Structure 1
Amino acid sequence: MSTKLLEGERALVTGCAGGIGRGIASALKAEGATVLGSDIAAPPAEDGIDFLAADLGRPDGWKTLLAGALDRLGTVSLFVHAASPRRREVDTPLSVSEETWDAMTGINLRAGFFLGREVGRHMRDKGIKGRILLITSQHRETPRNLPHYSASKAGMTMVMKELARTLAPSGIRVNALAPGAIPGGGFVADNLADLVKQIPIGRAGTPDDVAQMAVAVLSERFGRYVVGTTVEIDGGLGLMSWIPAKA
């Protein structure tokens, strides 16, 4: 008997070119899942993970991805939405353009909702007790000086709750992870050393820190009663309110 937590599961993971999405895809594969990753430009298949190119910034991008995923996988029992455009520190509240706003909210919020909804519908109609996981952010609640990013992540949190309440009676669990400072992927910080000083655990996070929590929440061994919840993965940074603690 396999001791792997996700043996036999079929997973679709967005945002897999690198960073958190790639880390989650690798962790799901290591725990026995068949994994299809996607990104705007798909890297070649490696480590047993297949990839599919999909531009979720296009209005019909999510439909193309879902159709391709069902064609490749047959069914989807695990869905993780980790895709998010790269953030630029110049896109502040007084300077962010409509184009940049639309790109961020289109991929994070619009594609996240419609993919989550339609994957959930697929799971329900097929009688699959599936799991859906949205990758939000600590900045769903705290300003980041990037309004398009923070607003989209806050919206994703409510999308998660709406889908969780709707799909839970069908045995489908929907949750979210909220990473803190995880260098790589869309997160770039010129002041990373200063930021790390504010993190109680004393280091920045890694994609694998997020990926291992994703495995736990998605598994039926550890996460079977976790529904409509956002799990913080930030080393305690959220305790600090971005201000160093005083002794």
Structure 2
Amino acid sequence: MSMKLLDGERALVTGCGGGIGRGIARALKAEGATVLGSDIVAPPAEDGIDFLAADLVEADGWRVLLDGALQRLGSISLFVHAASPRRQEVDTPLNVNEQVWDAMLGVNLRSAFFLAREIGRHMRDGGIRGRMLMVTSQHRLMPRNLPHYSAAKAGMTMAMKELARVLAPHGIRVNAIAPGAIPGGGFVAGNLDELVAQIPLGRAGTPDDVAQVAVAILSERFGRYVVGTTVEVDGGLGLASWIPARA
């Protein structure tokens, strides 16, 4: 008898090209799920995760991805949205341009919401007691000199809560996870040592730190009564962090 947490589940994970998304995809697979990963370009295939390329900046990118995912998987019981465009230090409140703003909100908010909504309908109509997880950020609450990113993650958080309210009565759980300083993702801090010095646990995080919490939330063994909430995975950074404003 298998003791894996996610045996028989079918998962779609966006942002699977690397970093947190890739870490979560690997962890879901290790716990028995069939995993389809997606990103704008294919990652190395060394871990055997099936992959489907999709550009979620494009207006119809989420539809293309969803159609392809349902063809590959047949049904979806787990959905993780980890996709996000890369962030740059120069994209401060007085400098960020419309194209960068639209791309960030297009992936983090527009595509996240419509993918989750349609997957929620798929789960409801198919009688699937599914689970969904949005990868947000501490900066949904705290400015980060990246207004498009902070606004997108704040919007994603509220979209998650709205979906959680209407889908929970159908046995579908929607939650979010908020990573702290995880080097190797879409953003590299200008001075990582300075940032780590603020973390009470005394180290930066890893994709696996986030992935293990994601597995717990998505599993019915540990997360079955968790709905509409955001779990911080930050080593305590949110307790002490302060980021000076930049023009």
In 1, the alpha carbon distance for the partners of 2:57 and 2:101 equals 11
Secondary structure of 2:52's aligned partner? strand
Secondary structure of 2:89's aligned partner? coil
Contact (CA 8 Å) 2:84, 2:108: kept in 1 or not?
yes
Contact (CA 8 Å) 1:44, 1:51: kept in 2 or not?
no
Partner of 1:199: 199
In 2, the alpha carbon distance for the partners of 1:127 and 1:46 equals 34
| Counterpart residue identity of residue 144, structure 2 | R
Contact (CA 8 Å) 1:44, 1:50: kept in 2 or not?
no
Partner of 2:222: 222
What displacement does 1:187 show? Answer: 2.0
In 2, the alpha carbon distance for the partners of 1:126 and 1:48 equals 28
Residue 162 of structure 1 pairs with residue 166 of structure 2: no
Identity of aligned residues (%): 81
Partner of 1:77: 77
What displacement does 1:44 show? Answer: 5.1
In 1, the alpha carbon distance for the partners of 2:118 and 2:89 equals 33
Number of residue pairs matched?
A: 243
Secondary structure of 1:129's aligned partner? coil
In 1, the alpha carbon distance for the partners of 2:178 and 2:13 equals 16
In 2, the alpha carbon distance for the partners of 1:41 and 1:198 equals 34
Partner of 2:184: 184
Partner of 1:114: 114
Partner of 2:151: 151
| Counterpart residue identity of residue 235, structure 2 | G
Query: In angstroms, what is the RMSD of aligned CA positions?
Result: 0.9
What displacement does 1:95 show? Answer: 0.4
Partner of 1:22: 22
Partner of 1:55: 55
What displacement does 1:121 show? Answer: 0.5
Partner of 1:175: 175
| Counterpart residue identity of residue 118, structure 1 | E
Structure 1, unmatched stretches of 5+, are: none
| Counterpart residue identity of residue 100, structure 1 | V
In 1, the alpha carbon distance for the partners of 2:55 and 2:99 equals 15
Q: Judge which range, 231-240 or 183-192, deviates more.
A: 183-192
In 2, the alpha carbon distance for the partners of 1:125 and 1:44 equals 35
Partner of 1:242: 242
| Counterpart residue identity of residue 107, structure 2 | I
Structure 2, unmatched stretches of 5+, are: none
What displacement does 1:146 show? Answer: 0.4
| Counterpart residue identity of residue 34, structure 1 | T
In 2, the alpha carbon distance for the partners of 1:190 and 1:152 equals 22
What displacement does 1:43 show? Answer: 2.8
Partner of 2:35: 35
* Change in CA separation of 1:206 and 1:61 when aligned onto 2, cut-off 3 Å: same
Secondary structure of 1:92's aligned partner? coil
Output the TM-score relative to the length of structure 1.
0.97
What displacement does 1:178 show? Answer: 0.4
Partner of 1:232: 232
Secondary structure of 1:37's aligned partner? strand
